[in-house]
Chain A
Amino acid sequence: EVQLLESGGTLVQPGGSLRLSCVASGFTLSSFGMSWVRQAPGKGPEWVSGISGRGDEIYYADSVKGRFTISRDTSKNTLSLQMNSLRAEDTAVYYCAKDPILRFGDDAPGVWGKGTTVTVSS
Protein backbone atom coordinates (compact mmCIF):
# COMPACT_ATOMS: atom_id res chain seq x y z
CA GLU A 1 0.00 0.00 0.00
CA VAL A 2 1.27 3.46 -0.92
CA GLN A 3 1.67 5.61 2.18
CA LEU A 4 3.26 8.91 3.17
CA LEU A 5 4.10 9.83 6.76
CA GLU A 6 5.17 13.35 7.62
CA SER A 7 6.96 14.40 10.78
CA GLY A 8 8.94 17.28 12.22
CA GLY A 9 6.22 19.85 12.74
CA THR A 10 6.33 21.80 15.98
CA LEU A 11 6.18 25.26 17.54
CA VAL A 12 9.06 27.47 16.42
CA GLN A 13 9.89 31.13 16.95
CA PRO A 14 9.87 33.65 14.11
CA GLY A 15 13.22 33.61 12.33
CA GLY A 16 13.84 30.02 13.35
CA SER A 17 14.42 26.90 11.27
CA LEU A 18 12.73 23.54 10.99
CA ARG A 19 13.17 20.41 8.91
CA LEU A 20 10.15 18.36 7.87
CA SER A 21 10.42 14.75 6.74
CA CYS A 22 8.10 12.52 4.75
CA VAL A 23 8.76 8.80 4.73
CA ALA A 24 7.37 7.04 1.67
CA SER A 25 6.34 3.39 1.65
CA GLY A 26 4.87 1.15 -1.02
CA PHE A 27 6.75 2.90 -3.83
CA THR A 28 10.17 4.25 -4.75
CA LEU A 29 10.54 7.99 -4.27
CA SER A 30 12.93 8.31 -7.20
CA SER A 31 10.25 7.13 -9.62
CA PHE A 32 7.69 9.83 -8.96
CA GLY A 33 7.37 13.56 -8.63
CA MET A 34 6.67 14.76 -5.10
CA SER A 35 5.47 17.98 -3.57
CA TRP A 36 4.87 19.81 -0.33
CA VAL A 37 1.52 21.53 0.07
CA ARG A 38 0.49 23.56 3.11
CA GLN A 39 -2.81 24.66 4.49
CA ALA A 40 -3.10 27.51 6.95
CA PRO A 41 -5.94 27.38 9.50
CA GLY A 42 -9.25 28.03 7.79
CA LYS A 43 -7.62 28.50 4.38
CA GLY A 44 -7.30 26.46 1.22
CA PRO A 45 -4.27 24.42 0.15
CA GLU A 46 -1.18 26.29 -1.03
CA TRP A 47 1.47 24.54 -3.10
CA VAL A 48 4.93 25.09 -1.57
CA SER A 49 7.49 23.11 -3.56
CA GLY A 50 7.86 20.23 -5.98
CA ILE A 51 10.62 17.89 -7.14
CA SER A 52 10.79 15.39 -9.98
CA GLY A 53 11.62 11.74 -9.43
CA ARG A 54 15.13 12.23 -10.77
CA GLY A 55 15.59 15.37 -8.71
CA ASP A 56 16.44 17.40 -11.80
CA GLU A 57 13.34 19.60 -11.62
CA ILE A 58 12.82 21.61 -8.44
CA TYR A 59 10.30 24.42 -8.05
CA TYR A 60 9.20 26.72 -5.26
CA ALA A 61 6.29 29.02 -4.61
CA ASP A 62 7.30 32.68 -4.54
CA SER A 63 6.29 32.90 -0.88
CA VAL A 64 9.01 30.45 0.18
CA LYS A 65 11.70 30.75 -2.49
CA GLY A 66 15.08 31.44 -0.95
CA ARG A 67 13.93 30.30 2.50
CA PHE A 68 12.79 26.68 1.93
CA THR A 69 14.71 23.81 0.33
CA ILE A 70 13.20 20.55 -0.87
CA SER A 71 15.37 17.44 -1.05
CA ARG A 72 15.26 13.65 -1.11
CA ASP A 73 17.22 10.83 0.48
CA THR A 74 16.63 7.93 -1.87
CA SER A 75 18.44 5.49 0.44
CA LYS A 76 15.84 6.22 3.11
CA ASN A 77 12.99 6.83 0.65
CA THR A 78 12.41 10.11 2.44
CA LEU A 79 11.40 13.56 1.19
CA SER A 80 12.45 16.60 3.23
CA LEU A 81 11.67 20.28 3.48
CA GLN A 82 14.24 22.52 5.16
CA MET A 83 12.52 25.71 6.30
CA ASN A 84 14.59 28.72 7.33
CA SER A 85 13.74 32.28 8.34
CA LEU A 86 10.28 31.19 9.38
CA ARG A 87 7.48 33.72 9.60
CA ALA A 88 4.10 33.73 11.30
CA GLU A 89 2.46 33.32 7.89
CA ASP A 90 4.23 29.97 7.46
CA THR A 91 1.98 28.54 10.17
CA ALA A 92 0.09 25.67 8.56
CA VAL A 93 -0.39 21.95 8.23
CA TYR A 94 2.25 20.71 5.82
CA TYR A 95 1.41 17.76 3.58
CA CYS A 96 3.67 15.80 1.32
CA ALA A 97 2.00 14.43 -1.78
CA LYS A 98 2.85 11.98 -4.56
CA ASP A 99 2.44 12.61 -8.27
CA PRO A 100 1.50 9.83 -10.69
CA ILE A 101 4.59 10.18 -12.92
CA LEU A 102 8.34 10.79 -12.83
CA ARG A 103 8.29 14.40 -13.92
CA PHE A 104 6.92 17.25 -11.84
CA GLY A 105 4.49 19.63 -13.48
CA ASP A 106 1.13 19.34 -15.13
CA ASP A 107 -0.27 16.63 -12.87
CA ALA A 108 -2.25 16.20 -9.71
CA PRO A 109 -1.02 14.45 -6.58
CA GLY A 110 -3.26 11.50 -5.93
CA VAL A 111 -1.72 10.38 -2.65
CA TRP A 112 -1.31 12.67 0.36
CA GLY A 113 0.08 12.14 3.82
CA LYS A 114 -1.89 13.10 6.91
CA GLY A 115 0.22 16.21 7.44
CA THR A 116 2.38 17.71 10.17
CA THR A 117 1.61 20.99 11.94
CA VAL A 118 4.04 23.90 11.96
CA THR A 119 3.30 26.84 14.23
CA VAL A 120 5.49 29.93 14.02
CA SER A 121 4.94 32.10 17.05
CA SER A 122 6.84 33.80 19.85
Chain B
Amino acid sequence: YVLTQPPSVSVAPGETARIPCGGKNIGIKSVHWFQQKPGHVPVLVIYYDNNRPSGIPDRFSGSSSEHAATLTISRVEAGDEADYYCQVWDSDTNHRLFGGGTKVTVL
Protein backbone atom coordinates (compact mmCIF):
# COMPACT_ATOMS: atom_id res chain seq x y z
CA TYR B 1 0.00 0.00 0.00
CA VAL B 2 1.40 3.40 -0.97
CA LEU B 3 0.56 6.87 0.33
CA THR B 4 1.23 9.70 -2.09
CA GLN B 5 1.82 13.31 -1.08
CA PRO B 6 2.98 16.27 -3.17
CA PRO B 7 6.56 17.23 -2.29
CA SER B 8 5.71 20.84 -1.61
CA VAL B 9 2.91 23.32 -1.08
CA SER B 10 3.36 27.09 -0.92
CA VAL B 11 0.89 29.44 0.71
CA ALA B 12 0.74 33.09 1.66
CA PRO B 13 0.22 34.10 5.29
CA GLY B 14 -3.45 34.20 6.21
CA GLU B 15 -4.44 31.93 3.35
CA THR B 16 -5.45 28.26 3.45
CA ALA B 17 -3.08 25.36 2.81
CA ARG B 18 -4.49 22.03 1.68
CA ILE B 19 -2.23 18.98 1.78
CA PRO B 20 -3.52 15.86 0.07
CA CYS B 21 -2.61 12.27 0.90
CA GLY B 22 -3.62 9.78 -1.78
CA GLY B 23 -4.04 6.04 -1.48
CA LYS B 24 -6.27 3.30 -2.84
CA ASN B 25 -9.56 3.34 -0.95
CA ILE B 26 -7.98 5.55 1.69
CA GLY B 27 -11.50 6.64 2.64
CA ILE B 28 -12.02 3.38 4.51
CA LYS B 29 -8.82 3.80 6.52
CA SER B 30 -8.12 6.02 9.50
CA VAL B 31 -5.65 8.74 8.56
CA HIS B 32 -3.36 10.54 10.97
CA TRP B 33 -1.22 13.61 10.32
CA PHE B 34 2.12 14.70 11.77
CA GLN B 35 3.93 18.01 11.63
CA GLN B 36 7.73 18.04 11.77
CA LYS B 37 9.79 21.20 11.97
CA PRO B 38 13.53 21.08 11.16
CA GLY B 39 15.52 19.47 13.95
CA HIS B 40 12.39 18.49 15.87
CA VAL B 41 10.44 15.34 16.60
CA PRO B 42 7.21 14.70 14.66
CA VAL B 43 4.11 16.06 16.37
CA LEU B 44 0.64 14.57 15.93
CA VAL B 45 -1.72 17.28 14.68
CA ILE B 46 -4.71 15.24 13.45
CA TYR B 47 -5.78 11.72 14.43
CA TYR B 48 -8.55 9.53 13.09
CA ASP B 49 -9.14 11.71 10.04
CA ASN B 50 -10.38 14.87 11.73
CA ASN B 51 -9.58 14.97 15.46
CA ARG B 52 -7.15 17.40 17.04
CA PRO B 53 -5.01 16.50 20.06
CA SER B 54 -5.13 18.98 22.89
CA GLY B 55 -2.94 21.98 22.23
CA ILE B 56 -3.29 21.87 18.45
CA PRO B 57 -4.94 25.04 17.11
CA ASP B 58 -8.36 24.71 15.49
CA ARG B 59 -6.79 26.14 12.33
CA PHE B 60 -5.75 22.52 11.66
CA SER B 61 -8.43 20.21 10.34
CA GLY B 62 -8.66 16.96 8.42
CA SER B 63 -11.03 15.36 5.97
CA SER B 64 -11.20 12.19 3.94
CA SER B 65 -12.83 10.93 0.75
CA GLU B 66 -12.62 7.69 -1.19
CA HIS B 67 -9.15 8.18 -2.66
CA ALA B 68 -7.63 11.08 -0.74
CA ALA B 69 -7.33 12.48 2.74
CA THR B 70 -6.62 16.17 3.20
CA LEU B 71 -4.97 18.18 5.94
CA THR B 72 -6.19 21.77 5.88
CA ILE B 73 -4.40 24.61 7.61
CA SER B 74 -6.52 27.75 7.76
CA ARG B 75 -5.20 31.26 8.32
CA VAL B 76 -1.65 30.03 7.77
CA GLU B 77 1.08 31.52 9.96
CA ALA B 78 4.85 31.61 9.50
CA GLY B 79 5.16 29.10 12.34
CA ASP B 80 3.24 26.51 10.32
CA GLU B 81 6.17 26.11 7.97
CA ALA B 82 7.15 22.46 8.33
CA ASP B 83 7.01 19.02 6.76
CA TYR B 84 3.68 17.24 7.06
CA TYR B 85 3.23 13.46 6.91
CA CYS B 86 0.11 11.33 6.68
CA GLN B 87 0.03 7.87 8.28
CA VAL B 88 -2.30 4.89 8.01
CA TRP B 89 -2.52 1.29 9.14
CA ASP B 90 -2.53 -1.31 6.38
CA SER B 91 -4.58 -4.18 7.77
CA ASP B 92 -3.60 -6.46 4.87
CA THR B 93 0.07 -6.45 5.89
CA ASN B 94 -0.22 -5.25 9.52
CA HIS B 95 2.12 -2.38 8.73
CA ARG B 96 2.01 1.29 9.61
CA LEU B 97 2.80 3.47 6.64
CA PHE B 98 3.85 7.08 6.29
CA GLY B 99 3.41 9.23 3.24
CA GLY B 100 6.49 10.74 1.67
CA GLY B 101 5.78 14.11 3.23
CA THR B 102 4.85 17.59 2.03
CA LYS B 103 6.95 20.62 2.75
CA VAL B 104 4.76 23.62 3.47
CA THR B 105 6.41 26.93 2.66
CA VAL B 106 4.87 30.16 3.89
CA LEU B 107 5.61 32.86 1.35
Q: Which residues from chain A sit less than 8 Å from chain B, CB to CB?
A: 35, 37, 44-47, 50, 59, 61-62, 95, 105-110, 112-115
Contacts and interface: CB of A to CB of B under 8 A. Distances in A.
B83 A44 contact: yes
A44 B95 contact: no
B47 A108 contact: yes
Given A44-B85, A44-B99, A105-B89, A110 B53 contact: yes
B98 A47 contact: yes
B64 to A, nearest CB: 14
Interface in B13-67: 29-30, 32, 34, 36, 41-44, 47-48, 53
Given A112-B42, A115-B41, A106 B30 contact: yes
B32 A108 contact: yes
Given A35-B96, A44-B85, A47-B97, A112 B41 contact: yes
A5 B41 CA distance: 13
A53 B34 CA distance: 23
B95 A108 contact: no
B11 to A, nearest CB: 20
Interface in B51-106: 53, 83, 85, 87, 89, 91, 93-101
A113 to B, nearest CB: 8
16 contacts: A37-B42, A44-B83, A44-B98, A44-B101, A45-B42, A47-B96, A59-B94, A62-B95, A95-B41, A105-B94, A106-B29, A106-B91, A107-B47, A108-B34, A110-B47, A113-B41
